[in-house]
């Protein structure tokens, strides 16, 4: 072939291409016109003739593209540019193919997008919480030093200050040791004072973590020196919300607990230490800050390539030495050296995330089956198209490439959609998820590159598995039959499709059953009788600030004023004072409890819920006495009166009448006398398994610790009183923050956020699964109706009633649903076991839940047949039979 100057050749080639396109169009148009003329001569009207001519021509875009390509290609051997060109053409063809059937394309992409998107969102959470390495360069060498009690297995997260200093200065088997602590402080900005948790970090620890600041500087050695100027480092979140990301924030001063701190830096969002960080403010844990603290957390840096077993031995020996020096309590002579992400071993979190991941995977399976189902509808059409292409000498490689390109288009489009779906899902997860799930991540829960990769791989896998595999099968098996044969293996396809729908229904039944179990468990949980009236009480824990209320006198005056102010509010019928109040009641650890004259009960709880309450408490909470009396206003503290609940009474005294009986904690504890017995009490809320033993002690008159709670009984809706209560308290002292304020019932339900979150998300999954399965049922039934138009026409012509036809169609759906329901119930048995421990008061084979599940799936299937059934009854026998 002659070659002109390159540029000329380029333009000639473009011009030739343009003509090639036009020529092919002309040729095809000519063919159609001729065919239409012919059909009109046979007596058809023009529109029908055009439709028939186009139908007879077949896949016009495809043939046109083939011809254009043949015209354009001048050389026999394809150069690589041709190859690229070919792929590009396949892309155009693929997109055009999808656009030609928009409903099909939309359904396919939505199905895959939702399936993959849900998985992406859940995987994002799982990745952030459980998988992604901690974002510190030396993360694999950083360890928590936790004192432990060998016998009980109890571990503490912090060490006494003196012991911590010894670890830092003397434990030379560690390369470095740093400290951290949390402190609740008050941030005063002008008139407003807010309470927040600040994180104190020592300069050594900051260096060990090795995360560079976003702005300004980190904590350095000189910040820890005695008398050093107090500094503060903002989290990126706080910097954004309070300072509008103003870079001039450096050098500004903020007041924490009345002490000015200079802002010297901002840490990036990715910095989270400790894991429970509130992402507010970090201050330096230096010599000065240390004087106010009793205990600090200790983090060590292992030497490179250290043998952890050896280090552990050395650490134990070191801790034992500290016990000898009297720096550590003898009970905690053991020490645990654990990686910083040890919390990832928390089985409750892992199980919750596993269940969510499993639910998302089921959705994906249902979505994949739905996609396969959709593609099978097109399958027969595609199979004959593939045969034709093979007959035309398209070559199997070419056809396979075309299919691969189509799969890639579906993959990319659905992955794009999936990202959108997952962003929305993540937003709602983050809005509703308990801290336990999303807060416990070392890095922000957000879409990242690796999650994106996960999405694309998943979308690719699904579209390959469910989309292309069936067609690949037809490439291998289809005899190239451009002439004569019309491939019709409708029956086999039909079986496949029905099988897929049965599978979809089965999996959606599993999801429904799971959602039902969670819902029932949650409902039974929040209906637990708590033994007190939680619905009409608001609690406030002012947490009086040391700097404002340094002595008992001032605190007593505050509580006195608060009680009077609150009683004066309209709608308030009673005010009680207590140490701890629901939703956050107090507990005591202690020696084992025993009743006078009886052997010590063997099943001692780990700790005893215990509240010190005033005389008004019983009325405010509506305690229901079964025997004895409430505390009197002038209860003699020396009399050691106690109120216990029935369960405790039975535990301590068996069937004996408890009033007047005595019990104590430990061999040398004081004897306490039971003066009242109330119905089973659960001050700790709904989820208080293992805290059945609880009692109340009378408050000494004039008691005024800074952590007392006020409980306010209302006559009407308690939430309407939250604001007035807050204002009334702020009126007493505007500098004392009032932020720990709750309607008791809401607070107790909020404490179930993990259970509620699981329930809601499973509910969403179940709805998605059911929706997809219903779509699948609809697809198959309407396909069957279309295929049986003729038969239906004959039946109608022979006098079948509309009801018979409707029944026949509905029966189709019902048969699929029945198969799916039975299969789903069978799957529920092994899958139910994965929920063990997440459910309360519900067996995984709960008959009511399973019956409701079956009924829902059944109703959905019948609903899915409604449309096709109506079409079937509208079949016009004359038209259908005449058309053949």
Partner 1 sequence: MNPNSGLLQGTLEFLILQSLKGGDSRHGFGVLRWIRDASDGALEIEEGALYPALHRLERKGWVASEWGLSEKNRRAKFYTLTRVGRTQVSRQEKDWSRYVDVVGRVLAVASEG
Kindly list the residues in this chain that would bind partner 1 in the complex (CB under 8 A).
23-24, 26-28, 30-31, 33-35, 37, 56-60, 62-63, 66-67, 70-71, 73, 384, 388, 390-393, 479-484, 486
Q: How many CB atoms lie within 10 A of CB 726?
A: 16
Listed residue (863, 878, 857) closest to 781, CA to CA: 863
Contact 319, 335 (CB under 8 A): yes
Query: What is the longest distance spanned by two Cα atoms in the chain?
Result: 117
Burial 105-123 (b: 16+ CB within 10 A, else e): bebbbbbbbbbbbbbbbbb
DSSP-derived 3-state class of residue 541 = coil
- Closest contact distance (angstroms) between CB of 105 and partner 1 is 22
DSSP for 302-336?
A: PPTT--HHHHHHHHHHHHHHHHHTTSS-GGG-EEE
- Closest contact distance (angstroms) between CB of 45 and partner 1 is 20
Examine residue 554 and say whether the peptide bond preceding it is cis (omega within 30 degrees of 0).
Answer: no
What is the C-alpha to C-alpha distance for residues 744 and 712, in angstroms, rounded to an integer?
A: 10
- Closest contact distance (angstroms) between CB of 8 and partner 1 is 24
- Closest contact distance (angstroms) between CB of 369 and partner 1 is 31
- Closest contact distance (angstroms) between CB of 17 and partner 1 is 14
What is the C-alpha to C-alpha distance for residues 778 and 783, in angstroms, rounded to an integer?
A: 8
Nearer to partner 1, 56 or 453 (CB): 56
Nearer to partner 1, 30 or 629 (CB): 30
Nearer to partner 1, 25 or 717 (CB): 25
DSSP-derived 3-state class of residue 710 = strand
DSSP-derived 3-state class of residue 131 = helix
Nearer to partner 1, 50 or 73 (CB): 73
- Closest contact distance (angstroms) between CB of 884 and partner 1 is 17
Phi, psi (rounded to 5 degrees) for 664? -150, 170
Q: Residue 778 burial (CB < 10 Å; 0-12/13-18/19+)? A: buried
Nearer to partner 1, 341 or 385 (CB): 385
Listed residue (342, 378, 290) closest to 108, CA to CA: 378
- Closest contact distance (angstroms) between CB of 496 and partner 1 is 24
- Closest contact distance (angstroms) between CB of 95 and partner 1 is 20
Nearer to partner 1, 71 or 314 (CB): 71
What is the C-alpha to C-alpha distance for residues 403 and 258, in angstroms, rounded to an integer?
A: 70
- Closest contact distance (angstroms) between CB of 4 and partner 1 is 22
Listed residue (400, 364, 409, 548) closest to 476, CA to CA: 400
Treating both helix axes as pointing N-terminal to C-terminal, what angle do 6-41 and 60-72 enclose, rounded to 10 degrees?
Answer: 140
Nearer to partner 1, 482 or 637 (CB): 482
- Closest contact distance (angstroms) between CB of 79 and partner 1 is 16
The neighbouring-strand residues paired with 580 are: 585
DSSP-derived 3-state class of residue 580 = strand
Q: Could you tell me how many residues make up the chain? A: 884
Nearer to partner 1, 36 or 108 (CB): 36
What is the C-alpha to C-alpha distance for residues 528 and 524, in angstroms, rounded to an integer?
A: 6
- Closest contact distance (angstroms) between CB of 383 and partner 1 is 13
- Closest contact distance (angstroms) between CB of 25 and partner 1 is 11
- Closest contact distance (angstroms) between CB of 38 and partner 1 is 9
- Closest contact distance (angstroms) between CB of 64 and partner 1 is 8
What is the C-alpha to C-alpha distance for residues 450 and 745, in angstroms, rounded to an integer?
A: 41
Q: Residue 26 burial (CB < 10 Å; 0-12/13-18/19+)? A: exposed
Q: Are strands 608-613 and 587-588 parallel, antiparallel or unpaired?
A: antiparallel
Phi, psi (rounded to 5 degrees) for 628? 75, -155
What is the C-alpha to C-alpha distance for residues 753 and 750, in angstroms, rounded to an integer?
A: 5
DSSP-derived 3-state class of residue 641 = strand
CA distance to 151, 313, 324, 335, 337, per residue, from 155 (Å): 11, 17, 20, 8, 11
Nearer to partner 1, 32 or 338 (CB): 32
């Amino acid at each position: 072939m002659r070659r002109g100057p390159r540029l000329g050749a380029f333009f000639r080639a473009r011009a030739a291409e343009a003509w090639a396109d036009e020529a092919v169009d002309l040729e095809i148009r000519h063919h159609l016109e001729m065919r239409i003329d012919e059909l009109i001569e046979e007596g058809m009207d023009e529109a029908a003739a055009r439709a028939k001519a186009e139908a007879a021509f077949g896949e016009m875009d495809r043939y046109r593209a083939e011809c254009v390509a043949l015209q354009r290609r001048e050389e026999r051997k394809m150069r690589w540019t041709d190859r690229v060109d070919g792929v590009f053409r396949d892309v155009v063809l693929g997109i055009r193919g999808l656009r030609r059937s928009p409903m099909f394309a939309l359904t396919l992409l939505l199905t895959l997008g939702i399936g993959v998107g849900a998985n992406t969102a859940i995987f994002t959470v799982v990745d952030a919480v459980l998988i992604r390495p901690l974002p510190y360069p030396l993360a694999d060498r950083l360890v928590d030093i936790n004192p432990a009690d060998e016998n009980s297995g109890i571990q503490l997260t912090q060490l006494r200050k003196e012991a911590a200093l010894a670890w830092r200065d003397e434990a030379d088997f560690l390369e470095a040791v740093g400290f951290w602590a949390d402190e609740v402080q008050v941030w005063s900005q002008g008139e407003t004072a807010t309470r927040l948790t600040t994180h104190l970090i020592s300069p050594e620890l900051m260096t060990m973590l090795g995360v560079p600041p976003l702005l300004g500087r980190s904590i350095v050695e000189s910040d820890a020196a005695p008398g050093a100027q107090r500094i503060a480092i903002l989290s990126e979140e706080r910097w954004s919300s309070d300072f509008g990301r103003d870079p001039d924030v450096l050098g500004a001063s903020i007041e924490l607990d009345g002490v000015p701190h200079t802002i010297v830096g901002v840490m990036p969002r990715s910095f989270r230490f400790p894991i429970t960080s509130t992402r507010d403010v970090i201050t330096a844990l230096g010599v000065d800050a240390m004087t106010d603290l009793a205990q600090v957390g200790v983090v060590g840096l292992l030497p490179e390539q250290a043998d952890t077993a050896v280090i552990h031995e050395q650490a134990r020996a070191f801790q034992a030495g500290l016990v000898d020096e009297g720096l550590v309590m003898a009970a905690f002579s053991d020490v645990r050296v654990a990686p910083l992400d040890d919390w990832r071993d928390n089985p409750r979190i892992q199980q919750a995330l596993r269940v969510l991941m499993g639910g998302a995977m089921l959705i994906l399976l249902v979505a994949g089956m739905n996609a396969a189902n959709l593609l099978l509808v097109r399958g027969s059409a595609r199979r004959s198209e593939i045969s034709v292409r093979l007959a035309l000498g398209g070559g199997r490689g070419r056809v396979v490439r075309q299919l691969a390109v189509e799969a890639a288009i579906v993959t990319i489009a659905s992955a794009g959609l999936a990202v959108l779906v997952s962003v929305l899902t993540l937003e709602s997860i983050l809005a509703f998820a308990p801290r336990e799930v999303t807060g416990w991540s070392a890095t922000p829960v957000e879409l990242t590159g690796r999650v994106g990769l996960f999405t694309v791989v998943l979308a690719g896998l699904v579209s390959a598995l469910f989309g292309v595999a069936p067609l690949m099968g037809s490439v291998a098996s289809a005899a190239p039959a451009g002439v004569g044969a019309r491939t019709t293996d409708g029956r086999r396809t039909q079986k496949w499709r029905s099988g897929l729908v049965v599978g979809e229904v089965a999996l959606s039944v599993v999801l429904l059953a799971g959602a039902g179990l969670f819902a029932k468990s949650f409902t039974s949980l929040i209906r637990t009788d708590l033994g007190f009236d939680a619905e009409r009480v608001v609690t406030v824990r002012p947490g009086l600030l040391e700097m404002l209320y340094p002595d008992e006198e001032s605190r007593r005056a505050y509580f006195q004023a608060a009680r009077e102010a609150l009683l004066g509010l309209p709608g308030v019928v009673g005010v009680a004072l207590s140490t701890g109040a629901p939703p956050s009641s107090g507990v005591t650890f202690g020696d084992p409890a025993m009743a006078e004259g009886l052997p010590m009960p063997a099943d001692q709880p780990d700790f005893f819920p215990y509240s010190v309450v005033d005389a008004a408490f019983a009325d405010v909470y509506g305690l229901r006495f079964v025997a004895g009396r409430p505390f009197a206003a002038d209860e003699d503290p020396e009399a050691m009166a106690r109120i216990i609940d029935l369960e405790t009474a039975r535990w301590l005294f068996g069937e004996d009448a408890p009033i007047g009986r005595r019990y104590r904690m430990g061999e040398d504890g004081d004897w306490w006398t039971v003066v009242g017995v109330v119905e089973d009490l659960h001050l700790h809320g709904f989820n208080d398994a293992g805290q059945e033993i609880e009692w109340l002690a009378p408050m000494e008159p004039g008691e005024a610790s800074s952590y007392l709670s006020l409980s306010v009984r209302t006559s009407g809706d308690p939430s309407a009183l939250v604001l007035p209560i807050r204002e009334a308290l702020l009126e007493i002292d505007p500098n004392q923050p009032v932020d720990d304020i709750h309607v008791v019932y809401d607070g107790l339900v909020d404490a179930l956020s993990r259970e509620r979150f699981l329930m809601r998300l499973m509910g969403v999954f179940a709805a998605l699964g059911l929706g997809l399965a219903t779509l699948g049922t609809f697809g198959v039934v309407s396909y069957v109706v279309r295929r049986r138009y003729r038969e239906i026409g004959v039946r109608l012509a022979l006098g079948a009633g509309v009801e018979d036809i409707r029944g026949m169609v509905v029966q189709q759906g019902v048969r699929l649903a029945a198969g799916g329901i039975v299969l789903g119930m069978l799957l529920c048995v092994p899958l139910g076991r994965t929920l063990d421990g997440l459910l309360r008061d519900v067996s995984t084979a709960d008959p009511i839940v399973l019956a409701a599940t079956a009924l829902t799936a059944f109703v959905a299937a019948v609903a899915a047949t409604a449309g096709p059934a109506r079409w079937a009854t509208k079949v016009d026998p004359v038209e259908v039979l005449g058309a053949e």
